[in-house]
A and B are shown apart, each in its own frame.
Chain A
């Protein structure tokens, strides 16, 4: 197995673990943690492909990862603000109980 395949398998496994947590856990913040793990797996994938590519001096994969990290930060901030706002209205952060559209 080439080094690139090892990196890609690790990233795929990390993605699956994040995905499993995001769809099975009840608490909203744990879903967010799962999403962050999935984003990290995607970043790892991008860096692995950049490192083993034919033209790494173009820095495309690298810059993509930097922007992806910035977007993940923005998304985590807004997601957590949403969770806090929902908690304030429904007094719960359990996703099974937040199932009505009535505000």
Chain B
């Protein structure tokens, strides 16, 4: 029974596809999976926007939206139907394009943002046997197309012919490029231990249980540090607080999507949140065991429910951090990436290697934790000591 519920989507897919002739089956199966992803994740996005507004409101000691039910009916949902009128509002707003804007590039930027983000969903394992495209180099595919989002950020910022847009775009690109390196290096530790770039194999490696606790990588010293580095880097990649200087309203109006309104803004908004879900999904796959359960007596819960639960838990932590922490200034942000997270990620790779080659004893816990803690303290002291409080100088090539 539990196994049937676990594989329900796979079985429904096979049943749907069996109506077609043999030659069309792979294509039809891929199309049905794509349609499913396109239906489920925007729905999760809508619910997340409501949770975010209500959650932020409660953190800031006020109610969030608490009246809207389903429009045109008498169903009352205490604010959870807010995404429906919000969606209708965004679709019906006037699409204003600045007169001096570069029309073709301005039009293409939201599309060029959305396509790589949706492509990244194809390699995530949402449940047991539930990966759309199980590439041999799946992790590399994810990181490669995730990096293609930067081109769209530049297109949006430059084509608007607005100095705030361009400045926001340059800051966003610098931030994304800088934080990609700790992101990739913390993923490299997992690849080193598992020996494969295939995401399903990484999850299968974590699907073992010792004394009832799963072998998630986050339960090891290098895995914990790797997960924290990945978490901070994914906050920066999705331009969320405390790294949202490129798009904060009090800083730069809206950064690179200042001149976008209506449906194009909705596409950017959707693209940003979908990117957030995708990178959280990757973090769950690499460090939190993907679709496996943490304790062995809870394995009867279906795998896709575990994946969704972990994803929503981390989304809640993202919302919590957004409501709690102040924003980092641009130079503080860059210093954190290059002077703290990059050396710590490199030392983490060393520690993961030491962990792999020492015997499975309490000594390896002690040695690895000591090295990481020492590195953290030294790097932290170095970062704090280098604060130059003075007038900033901007450097151009002249």
- A residues within 8 Å of B by Cβ? 84-85, 87-88, 91
Contact = CB atoms under 8 A, between A and B. Distances in A.
A91 B396 CA distance: 12
A59 B51 CA distance: 51
Interface in B59-102: none
Nearest to A91: B398
B397 interface: yes
B241 to A, nearest CB: 32
Interface of B: 397-398
Contacts of B398: 87-88, 91
Per DSSP, are chain B's interface residues mostly helix, strand or loop, or mixed? loop
Contacts of B397: 84-85, 87-88
A84 B398 CA distance: 8
Contacts of A85: 397
A25 to B, nearest CB: 20
A88 B396 CA distance: 9
Nearest to B398: A88
7 contacts: A84-B397, A85-B397, A87-B397, A87-B398, A88-B397, A88-B398, A91-B398
A102 to B, nearest CB: 20
A87 B397 CA distance: 7
Contacts of A87: 397-398
Nearest to A86: B397
Contacts of A84: 397
Closest 3 CB pairs of A and B: A84-B397, A88-B397, A87-B397
A47 B397 CA distance: 38
Nearest to B397: A84
A88 B398 CA distance: 4
A34 to B, nearest CB: 20
A91 B398 CA distance: 7
Nearest to B396: A88
A81 B45 CA distance: 42
Nearest to A85: B397
A84 B397 CA distance: 6
A85 B396 CA distance: 11
A91 B397 CA distance: 9
Nearest to A84: B397
Nearest to A87: B397
B150 to A, nearest CB: 15
A85 B395 CA distance: 13
Contacts of A91: 398
A38 to B, nearest CB: 21
A8 B350 CA distance: 43
A19 B46 CA distance: 50
B165 to A, nearest CB: 22
Contacts of A88: 397-398
A85 B397 CA distance: 7
A27 to B, nearest CB: 15
A56 B398 CA distance: 50
A62 to B, nearest CB: 13
Nearest to A93: B397
A60 B398 CA distance: 45
A88 B397 CA distance: 5
A15 to B, nearest CB: 24
A86 B398 CA distance: 9
A67 B398 CA distance: 34
A16 to B, nearest CB: 26
B17 to A, nearest CB: 30
B137 to A, nearest CB: 12
A7 to B, nearest CB: 22
A39 to B, nearest CB: 18
A64 B398 CA distance: 38
A8 B52 CA distance: 53
A3 to B, nearest CB: 22
A71 to B, nearest CB: 19
A47 B367 CA distance: 45
Nearest to A83: B397
A80 to B, nearest CB: 10
A33 to B, nearest CB: 15
A88 B395 CA distance: 11
A45 B397 CA distance: 37
